[in-house]
Amino acid sequence: MFIDRVAVFVRGGAGGAGIASFAKRKGKPRGKPDGGSGGPGGNVVIVADSSVSTLLEYSRRPHRRAADGTHGQGSLRHGRRGEDEILGVPLGTVILDPDGTVIADLVEEGQSFVVSEGGRGGLGNAALVNRNLKAPGFAEQGEYGVEREIVLELKLMADAALIGFPNAGKSTMIAAVSAAQPKIADYPFTTLVPNLGVVEVGDRQFVMADVPGLIEGAAEGKGLGHEFLRHTERARVLVYVLDPSDLQTVGIGEQYDILRAELAAHMPGLSERPSLVLVNKVDLGDIGDGLSELKERELDVQVVSAASGEGLADAMAWIADTLDAIPAQSLQDPDRAGGFMLHRPVSTDLAVEATQAGWVVSGRAAERAVAFNDLTIPIAADLAAARLKNAGVDEALIAAGAEPGDDVRIGDIVFEFQPDDEP
């Protein structure tokens, strides 16, 4: 089954907890702090892999999580890092936020993106020692990994795309010029998924895509082809396959205009790419007056028959010559480096929300501030309070209307808000 768009829920591994321990020394009840720190959680990494052709695996298993880091131990033994969760995707996969914002575009073999980071490992008490804290009897908990929803969207990596109305003969054509074996039948919308084929012209070759048939209004969701318009976006050459037979209700001139308008509506500039017009089914007889009209527009027009093979060799040679003249990177966004595009969202790390039970503060800095294994220890509580103040939590709570004595929840920790009056 061909799946080209899927929502995936990812979570980085949790960091391991640090430990509070002390070296055992003969004759002394407690030696120096020697508690090791927890290992960081693994990341969820998406990697472009040419051996993967569909997103079906993520449709079946949409929840993915990296491994947790292990806990620290005594004698300065630190926890191991959690293993990354590697998600292989087809070349041409775009990673998006649920709102449609592009996060990354993976178009080359091996390109990768960390979509969900693992949590930081908690510090052991040996790492918490400073000039004011000589022998801490507490340690940090590990952080949770980042949890988020993403959307994976595949845009096929084809050099040329066959575009036409349903039943125009696109599938017959790609089967005739390549080893592709699409479903072919004498009824509209036979092609329900895009088909890829490798076309050889002498010692040259290129990848051609057969896009499901388009109808007027496809860019607005009519018909079936609108779901696959994205697969035309990476094509460097567009091949309009026109059908002069009685199966179509409009002539070939109007077919061309409708197809071009749909591409322009889907993506600005798409319809302006180098193109070839193939008037198919010449074996059926009279083509009509539309051919003369197309040639008067100074378009590159050829008459072919996908069924008999007439004219296909010349048409494929034209496509190969045109591709040779177009730099492979010329259609990529100038902001992309080697086809990779990354958008980093503005950080919204600290958030305060009023609830019936009190105040809820979220954000990694706030969660890290209270990530101690025992906040009943006065020194640990004081250190957490100082961290919260430095992270801006006190200021944010006061700005939101919190008053001394209000309950505040950060993660699993609930405490009474007592702001520090000192600046």
Phi, psi of 49 (to 5 degrees): -135, 115
Q: What is the C-alpha separation between 11 and 368, in angstroms, rounded?
A: 18
Res 371: pLDDT: 82
Per-residue pLDDT of the chain (423 residues; tens, 9 = 90+): 567 889 999 999 999 999 999 998 777 777 899 999 999 999 999 999 989 888 989 999 999 999 999 999 999 999 999 999 999 999 989 999 999 899 999 988 999 999 999 999 999 999 999 888 888 999 998 988 999 999 999 888 889 999 988 888 888 899 898 876 644 444 344 445 678 888 999 999 898 888 887 766 544 555 454 566 888 888 899 999 998 887 777 888 899 999 999 889 888 888 899 999 999 988 877 676 778 888 888 888 999 999 899 999 999 999 999 999 887 654 444 344 444 444 444 344 789 999 999 999 988 888 888 887 778 888 888 888 888 999 899 999 999 999 999 999 998 889 899 887 655
Q: Which amino acid, residue 99?
A: D
| DSSP labels, 321-370 | HHHHTS-TTTTS-TT-BTTB-B-PPPP---EEEEETTEEEEESHHHHHHT
What distance in Å separates the CA atoms of residue 135 and residue 97, rounded to the nearest whole number?
45
Three-state secondary structure call for residue 207? strand
**What does DSSP assign to residue 204?**
E
Q: Please return the burial class of 421, using the count of CB atoms within 10 Å of its CB with bins 0-12, 13-18 and 19+.
A: exposed
| Under 8 Å between Cβ of 107 and 95 | no
Domains of the chain with CATH codes? 1-154 (2.70.210.12), 160-324 (3.40.50.300), 351-416 (3.30.300)
| 3-class secondary structure, 132 | coil
Token pair 């004219």 in the structure block, residue: 311
80-85-88 Cα angle (round to 5):
150
Structural contact between residues 38 and 79, judged by C-beta atoms closer than 8 angstroms = yes
Coil, helix or strand at residue 107: coil
CB contact at 8 A, 101 and 149: no
The per-residue DSSP string of 1-32 comes to ----EEEEEEEPPPPPPP---B--BTTBS--S
Give the model's pLDDT for residue 330: 44
Distances (CA, A) of 185 to 171, 189, 241: 9, 9, 17
The beta strands (E) that lie in 219-328 are given as 237-242, 275-279, 301-303
Task: Please report which helix (H) or strand (E) contains residue 131, including its range.
Answer: none
Answer for the pair 12, 66: CB distance below 8 angstroms, yes or no: yes
Predicted pLDDT of residue 38? 96
